[in-house]
Structure 1
Amino acid sequence: MDQRILIDGLVSYVCFLPILTFHEFAHAWVAWKCGDDTARLQGRVSLNPTVHIDLVGTIVLPLLAVILSAANSALAGFIIGWGKPVPVNIANLRHRRRDDTMVALAGPAMNVLLAIGILAVVKIGVVADWPMVVAAGQRLALLSLFLCFFNLLPVPPLDGSHVLKNAVGMSDEAYWRFCQFGLIAVIIVVQIPFVWRLIEFATYTTLGAIAGVFRLGA
């Protein structure tokens, strides 16, 4: 096991937690603004990381990815995971299908906004010659965009599954049957090399585009 990669992975995991917190906060906030206050009443419209932790998605799977990275697995360099699903009562949403899709996309959209804000700080770090700020910012921006595109995979409990559900008009009953196999589906999907290449392509292409706006070398 490569200790350097292990330490690097643990640093990435620490960076992953605040990014995930903003991601889940965005889901809860948009659901509230669309008419459903279920998440707000459960304290999920919050930037407190502890209220968004999911045992499997926030602790077990990401740390497993870190360990496998140290063993030179195909997962090396990436943190995969998700937060505790934000409770949404779609009956309370003003426009069920549209608003449910907006709630699902709010998390990935927040990740893109975070990456933009972080790279703006990186630009300041470059101008001011703050190498630690630049290095930390680049890592955070990369992780934020990776989390964005990973969560857009159309398998539960990931956000893309809600987008798929509403796009094809899947019934609630059919969707919940689909969700019963969600964790297994995620484990299978992350073993497919094409999926990783697709996520990597989307992540680095978006990172490069944002970096280009700030005239940074990504």
Structure 2
Amino acid sequence: MNLLLNLSIFFFAVIIHEYAHGWVAWKLGDSTARFMGRLTLNPLAHIDPIGTIFLPLILLITHSPVLFGWAKPVPVDFFNLKNPKQGMIWVGLAGPVANILFAIALSLLLKIPLLLASYLAVSVVTTAIMANLVLAVFNLLPIPPLDGSRVMMGLLPYNLSVEYAKIEPYGFIIIFALLWMNAINTIIWPVVISLARLLGVNFGM
């Protein structure tokens, strides 16, 4: 499948992910994303030059088995939430859960005989399932500022969450270091494969 199509599929998964964060935050009391025009499926509102374009492009060019990245984070003021600590957990989970639900919905398309007759259609749907699962699993890593860290902060006692948050300025350094050591692929890919098999999709190893 060509590079542009792969990037488009990945980008759409990222949009769903970020929209879910903003939507859940809005429902829980914070309208920041809505007021800033980020509660939208318009891709231009979510592009991050490094996370949405550069990193996925490099991973595709280098034939990485895992394609991941991030969009411009949807702004959330957790203090506006009805229950900030609990709300942080739900907002953090919203993006990954949205991607997993979308992957489940896409997997149902693979049950349609007419679609199965088209190699291109099967390839697009399968790639979209992979993109959504990878994005979900990657973002659940407990490395600030990824979603998993928001969940962790919501679960930790206040004093520990404050200390944990101090890691955030170094988060991307940690991520790129793990990427360089191939550790992220090692962590993510087996989980993605397992989830895919639960959906009846076999990516292979």
- Deviation, 1:192, is 4.0
- Deviation, 1:82, is 0.5
Aligned to 1:17: 11
- Deviation, 1:143, is 1.2
Are 2:197 and 1:197 aligned? no
Specify the SS of the correspondent of 1:86. Answer: coil
CA deviations over 1:8-55 (Å, ceiling 9, x no partner): 444322210111100100000000000000011111111111111112
Aligned to 2:196: 207
CA deviations over 1:83-105 (Å, ceiling 9, x no partner): 11111111110111111110011
Separation (CA, whole Å) in 2 of partners of 1:102 and 1:87? 15
From 130, 144, 151, the equivalent of 2:132 is 144
TM-score, length-normalised on structure 2?
0.89
Separation (CA, whole Å) in 1 of partners of 2:17 and 2:114? 27
Specify the SS of the correspondent of 2:199. Answer: helix
TM-score, length-normalised on structure 1?
0.84
CA RMSD of aligned residues (A): 2.1
From 104, 119, 122, the equivalent of 2:110 is 122
Separation (CA, whole Å) in 2 of partners of 1:22 and 1:152? 16
Note closer, same or farther for the CA distance 1:108–1:31 as it changes in structure 2 (3 Å cut).
Answer: same
Note closer, same or farther for the CA distance 1:83–1:170 as it changes in structure 2 (3 Å cut).
Answer: farther
From 160, 172, 180, the equivalent of 1:183 is 172
| Pairs within 5 Å for 1:1-218 | 8-69=2-63, 76-125=64-113, 129-170=117-158, 174=163, 176-211=165-200
Task: List runs of 5+ in structure 1 lacking aligned partners.
Answer: 1-6, 70-75
CA deviations over 1:64-118 (Å, ceiling 9, x no partner): 222332xxxxxx2322201111111111101111111100110000111110111
Separation (CA, whole Å) in 2 of partners of 1:173 and 1:128? 50
Task: List runs of 5+ in structure 2 lacking aligned partners.
Answer: none
Percent identity between matched residues is 35
The aligned length equals: 202
- Deviation, 1:130, is 2.7
